[in-house]
Amino acid sequence: MHLRSALGHLGKLRAKRVRKCQKWGKPRSGSVIKQKILVTGAAGYLGSILCGRLLEAGYDVLALDNLFYGDCSLFHYCAEADFDFVQGDTRDEALIRSLLPKVSAVIPLAAMVGVGACKGDPAMTRTVNLEAIQMISRLRSPEQLVVYPTTNSGYGTNSDEVFCTEETPLQPISLYGETKAQAEALLLESPNAICLRLATVFGFSPRMRLDLLVNHFVHAALTDRRAGVSGRSQGRPGVRAGGLGLAR
């Protein structure tokens, strides 16, 4: 499943709510009851793309980010009537508790990403990547959908399989992969949750990252005229940031 399928699931929930309002005699003015979606880490590499896709698909967006890397990646959405922004920390329980009643679904993207960053601050990695997800799952209602994009880093390197699937056991070898796999597991044990194991993302984003594999290779080739590769027998799946099935 990808985000296109997840958004399709949201569309079914929207239609269900319209029928419910009609059942209780609320006006049928022809206006569609729009769903609002909370996106945490909205100013990040994926979040700054996803917010636009959700707006294009007709959803209201409530964006949450601590703006650690600045706010420029969301400037182009500020004129949108259906876009609201809150500066804050995804670990702030009082804040999350106040935002959840306003939304129909949550897409938690806020995370410490990558082996190096997580190794540099293990405590923050655990609180952001795992404990914040636990809190969101605990505070949300069973009717609120969670769409959780996670990582293929959970597979580790111990599998004997040439290609990993959803059935391949997770054997993370890094703190990053470990916390993401644990967050995925707890969500899958709760109702109304969809987890998406993404390949390594690449491509342009309003919050550009040059540390991602393909982006790094392209940048190195253009600036240094060379890109080093070790381990000729290794393979790595990739997916373009703008092609993650985010379109309506």
Encode pLDDT of 83-111 as tens digits.
Answer: 999 999 999 999 999 999 999 999 999 99
**Alpha carbons 82 and 87: distance in angstroms, whole number:** 17
Number of domains in the chain: 1
SS3 197: strand
What does the pLDDT average to over 113-121? 85
The pTM of the full predicted model, rounded to 2 decimals, is: 0.78
Q: Which domain holds residue 126?
A: 3-202
- The answer to whether residue 221 is domain-embedded is no
**Alpha carbons 59 and 138: distance in angstroms, whole number:** 24
CATH assignment of the domain containing 34: 3.40.50.720
Pick from 39-43, 116-120, 170-174 the range whose average pLDDT is largest.
39-43
**Alpha carbons 192 and 24: distance in angstroms, whole number:** 25
Query: Which structure tokens are listed for 79?
Result: 């004129």
- The answer to whether residue 231 is domain-embedded is no
Upper half-sphere CA count for residue 100 (Cβ side, 13 Å): 20
pLDDT one-digit tens code per residue, 187-233: 999 999 998 887 777 677 777 776 777 767 777 788 888 777 776 66
Contact 87, 144 (CB under 8 A): no
- The answer to whether residue 49 is domain-embedded is yes
- The answer to whether residue 245 is domain-embedded is no
- The answer to whether residue 34 is domain-embedded is yes
- The answer to whether residue 225 is domain-embedded is no
